[in-house]
Structure 1
Amino acid sequence: MLEVDSIDVAYGAVQVIWDVSLSVEKGETVALLGANGAGKTTVLKSICGPLVPTAGDIRFEGESIGGLQQDEVVPKGITHVPEGREIFHESSVHENLTLGAYANRDGMEDRRRRVYEIFPRLEERSGQSAGTLSGGEQQMLAIGRGLMSDPDLVLLDEASLGLAPVLVDDVFDAIERINEEGTTVLLVEQDVHNALRVADRGYVLESGRVSLSGSAEELADDERVAASYLGG
């Protein structure tokens, strides 16, 4: 489904990604792991549009998308849930979800019902301003808004960042359900424990390069991953 093929990425004259390759097959959840500053978010931004690789290519369903901007990528079936949520604080939950369907309004109410089934608290607060939600509810809204475009692939960037442990569990349970219902997921995470719990495979990014890859089980058992990220 998604192929990232030997990309380099730079911010101006400063290169931050070197020769990164990864793939995501239809129906998988794939985790992109690494410490803060490793380049994980940069890889996502290269896939979904704000950044253009300086070398290599990115293909989605066999079509090159490496030079496209976000408003061109979303209609192809990719949605990006960014770090920091970026919800519209003055708008209601209902309005935020409606805005998520801007590229695909057909079946919008069916998709809204699906979001409310996954996140019942959002339905309870549908008329409430998004800025008055708790941090966990805002993260649920950000994910729900992403689902409103009916994507084939969701890019999730640090979905658990800053959440209380009980809410982290809720968010990862929701990610697992979203995948089980047929949406492919590429998950960027510092919470390696939970990421490997829900992922099929993973890649570890260090200083802008892929240093390890394998099944979730292989990575969880790898001494290097345990030493660096799992407290081993």
Structure 2
Amino acid sequence: MKIGLFIVDDIFIKDQIIVFLNLVSSLGLDIRDFHIFIKQPRKNNRLTNEYRDIRFPAKYYIEKIQILIMRKMLTTKLASRWVRISNESTIHQIDSINSSTTVTLLSEQEIDIGFFINFDEIVKNDTLLKIKRTFNLHNGLLPNYRGCQPIVWQMLNNEKISLMTLHVMTTSIDDGDIVFECPFNINYKKGVFLNNVQSFKSIPSTLIFGLRKILYCTAPFTRQDQYKIQTQYFKRPSAQDTRKVYFKG
């Protein structure tokens, strides 16, 4: 069996992937069963300029410095552990998930199960068809908070608790059947960046128990329309939306 993990090149995500891969033996799997597909984070020059033009409260800038320090420390700490992961699993560097080179690579690899983890691209149908079963990790309540960066919208709506939601991936955004939900707290003493990092700590548990259900459970997944909750889709938050978070708490 080949299992694909699709991630952006982010040290906080890599940290949790290492934790997860150290647990896969409990499912009768081996680290050599995994292929990790890594791409660079997508740049959004319009949004970058928008953030540059808006004055944020001090809390925002303090948190950015905290995140920068955490990244540097974690990068040093995990360097040797990531080398081991690279030696024991298969690492693929990709440019875009929908590029012709990536689609060709996926055709060659014949991935049985694919997990998209905090991914920053919409995956097109031609790409999805190259993976036998595809799932997405979304750090927000579904079907309440479909769309980009749900932490921002949940904080603006005063949610106290959220879920790392593993769901079936379809051509529509965040609308597939729910496989597993792992709760995490939203802390209003912290801002968007630190709450995102906090949510990532739910990734290993969500993947382990979700994969256990996918591989060994015969019960159907939960359809999102079985929730008596209004479905909502949120656009990518603007700099002004993010700024509002830092005046809360």
Q: What TM bracket, shorter-length normalisation?
A: 0.3 to 0.5
Q: Of the two, which has the highest radius of gyration?
A: 2
TM-score (normalizing by structure 2): 0.31
The answer to which structure has the higher helix fraction is 2
If asked which structure has higher relative contact order (CA below 8 Å, sep 6+), I would say: 1
Larger % of strand: which? 1
TM-score (norm 1): 0.33
